[in-house]
Amino acid sequence: MHNFQRISQDLVNSLSLQYEPVGVTLYRESETLPEDISLTQKDYKSYCHALVLAGEGETLLLEGAQMGCKLGTSVLGFEKEMERYLDDGVLEKYGIGLFETEEASAETILRSAYLEKGKTRAAFIAPLSVFKETPQVVIFSADSEQVMWLLYAVNYEKGGKIDLPQSGGALGGCSDITVLPMTQGMTNITFLGLGCRLKSNLGPCHLMMGTPGEKIEIIHAHTLDLAKPIAMLNKQHTGA
């Protein structure tokens, strides 16, 4: 049996994480929701907002209507169409001046990775430590140096170049670090976008990283392997 509580605590301690790693599992319309968890009776600003709250300790089982960003729920497969949500109404995209034209905004969104439309029923978003079964994706909210160590852990065995595709300043939390890890089995980061940052209230130095759930034990092991260089850099920071 996986000890996700220990894995999560080790990662928090080793990297001095402000936010606990978060597990995400999406349930399709044909799947039964977990019997021991009730649907959360609150609405949230977005999927990214829910990720940050889970990193602070909340356990959430949400339907699409409870995550206010329709672009995000479209990408995650909750909505039956995406085109009507090209502007989600919260100072986003073309209207606020993030893109020169409506066509450039739409191109960014429609070329992102997304799940099959209308097939997702609910999202279980919770601290990794509460999971008994492996989540589909594990997501970190971390500063740039902490993300550096996590990427070293990902690349510890093979080395070489790491490809980190970006959706171009939109859909970072939903597409770049959730759908891509789920569908392509890859670890990826996002610099997030204006809407993601407005809704999640993450600090300006924070990024997010998503990895397939089955890779978290390897990342955990290699983060522990990196104890010596992590301590070396920490020592320089503290002047000890």
pLDDT digit string, tens, across residues 205-218: 999 999 999 999 99
pLDDT at residue 121 tops 80: yes
pTM value surpassing 0.95: no
From the number of C-beta atoms within 10 Å of its C-beta (0-12, 13-18, 19+), residue 163 rates as exposed
- Tens of pLDDT, residue by residue over 177-197, are 999 999 999 999 999 988 888
- Tens of pLDDT, residue by residue over 218-234, are 999 999 999 999 999 99
Q: Is 192 left (phi over 0), alpha (psi -120 to 50) or beta?
A: left
- Tens of pLDDT, residue by residue over 134-173, are 999 999 999 999 999 999 999 999 999 999 999 877 789 9
Q: Comparing 6 with 69, which gets the higher pLDDT?
A: 6
Q: Residue 90 belongs to what domain range?
A: 4-238
For the chain, what is the domain count? 1
